[in-house]
Amino acid sequence: MNEMNEIYEFACTLKSEVAAVLPDCTVRINHVRKNNGHVRTGLVIAKEGSKLAPTIYIDGMYRLYQDGVSKAQLIQKVIDAYEEACTNDTTPMQNVLSSFANAKDRLFIKLINEEKNREMLQDIPHRMVQDLAIVYALHLKDALDFSGIVTVTNTLLQTWGIDEETLYTQAMLNTPRVSPAILCPLREMMESFLPTAQFLNAPPMDISEYDFDGFTLKIDNGNDMPLYIVTNKAKLFGAASLLLPQVMEKIGEFLGSFYILPSSIHESIIVPASCAMEASELIHMVRQVNETNVDPEEILSDNIYYYDKVEKSFTVITE
């Protein structure tokens, strides 16, 4: 039996047990398609007479069950998650979703792989950039708070009574504020996650910092082979930062023409063309990292991209 069938059987068991504990609720199993074709399984719990029907995802609970956590504990987790969802005031979210006037200042862009998401893209407004797709999302809480994200669907677009062009224009206007871009040396980013002791033998960085509208650019002046990360300050969905106005152009002004290695939907690595690395070598690096180190749901592309400083052009390199 494959894992999907095992998760479904597990979901059926939880559904029956939760329904027994919550007799005034209807419980059903729902499969939700996520990025790159990955499907998550959830229990939708709807109380009679209530408009609220939260979805409690159980894929992680199945892993806990495999690790020895009892079904009774997991059933309680589902019920606790449902009760927490019911106590939250959903009025602000409903207000945001009900009209474009309420939603427009919360829009931002995300970047996903077109080929891996063709089925999902049939249901959501998007536009193509090479082999990638720009899609649109709403943050339901405060700006820079990415704990509540909703992807804009065609249905939502119809509710708002706008077209994709209007959506794109507003999202591009918002994103530098909602999701400010940043370019920094790869080593600086690594030092923020790893113990400083691992870098004691490395020479100190000589960094110059420049601030533009919605974009912070940090240059390491002392590195002969500088590698950089482009993301946003939240480090979530930051691969789309490159598509913000003037970001690629500004990077080109400081680094010259460069390659873009899509390390995930959250960030990209910038390799200046002056480093003289072969494109085939860079493609191999990306594909190896995607196979071994990146969550399948967060893979952006197996290809790399090239920005020509003179032509101001952005092209995909597949082999």
Interval 51-55 mean pLDDT: 78
Q: What H or E segment, with its residue span, contains residue 29?
A: strand 25-33
Q: Which residues contact 144 (CB under 8 A, 6 or more apart)?
A: 178, 179, 233, 234
> Which of these three, 88, 105, 135, is where a domain ends?
88
Q: Binning pLDDT at 50, 70 and 90, where does residue 142 land?
A: low
Looking at the structure, do residues 12 and 125 belong to the same domain, yes or no? no
Residue 70 lies in domain: 3-88
The whole-angstrom separation of Cα 174 and Cα 185 is: 26
- The residue among 93 and 125 whose pLDDT is bigger is 125
Q: Are residues 108 and 138 in the same domain?
A: yes
pLDDT at 146: 47
pLDDT of residue 179: 84
User: Are residue 304 and residue 190 in the same domain, yes or no?
Assistant: yes
Residue that terminates a domain, selected from 54, 88, 122? 88
Q: Please tell me whether residues 220 and 296 are part of one structural domain.
A: yes
Instruction: Please indicate, yes or no, whether residues 210 and 295 belong to a single structural domain of this protein.
Output: yes
Q: Are residues 203 and 293 in the same domain?
A: yes
Instruction: Write the pLDDT tens digit of every residue in 145-201.
Output: 445 688 999 999 999 999 999 999 999 999 988 889 999 998 887 776 665 555 556
Tens-place pLDDT, residues 76-109: 998 888 888 777 655 556 777 888 998 999 999 9
- Specify whether 133 is located in the same domain as 207: no
Q: Which amino acid is at 262?
A: P
φ, ψ dihedrals at 202, nearest 5°? -85, 145
| 201 lies in the same domain as 187 | yes
Bridge partners, residue 232, by sequence: 181
Confidence at residue 200, expressed as pLDDT on a 0 to 100 scale: 55
The string of DSSP letters for 126-184 reads EEEETTEEEEEEEESSSTT--SSEEE--HHHHHHHT--HHHHHHHHHHHHHHHS-EEEE
DSSP 182-242: EEEEHHHHHHHHS-GGGGTTSPPP-EEEEEETTEEEEEETT-SS--EEEEETT-SSGGGGG
135 or 177, which is more confident: 135
Whether residues 189 and 312 fall in one domain: yes
Same domain, 170 and 185: no
143 pLDDT more than 50: no
**Are 161 and 277 in a shared domain?**
no
- Which residues lie across from 128 on neighbouring strands? 133
With 0-12 CB in 10 A as exposed, 13-18 as middle and 19+ as buried, what is 68?
A: exposed
How far apart CA 224 and CA 315 sit, in angstroms, is 26
Copy the structure tokens of residue 66. Answer: 């495999």
**pLDDT at residue 144, rounded to an integer:** 45
- Which of 45, 73, 88 corresponds to the end of one domain? 88
pLDDT at residue 82 in the model:
85
Number of Cβ within a 10 Å radius of residue 104? 19
| pLDDT for 201 | 63
pTM of the model: 0.82
The per-residue pLDDT for 38 is 81
The verdict on 39 and 148 lying in the same domain is: no
What are the pLDDT digits (tens) for 220-274?
887 766 889 999 988 889 999 999 888 999 999 999 999 999 999 999 999 999 8
Counting the structural domains of the chain, the total is: 3
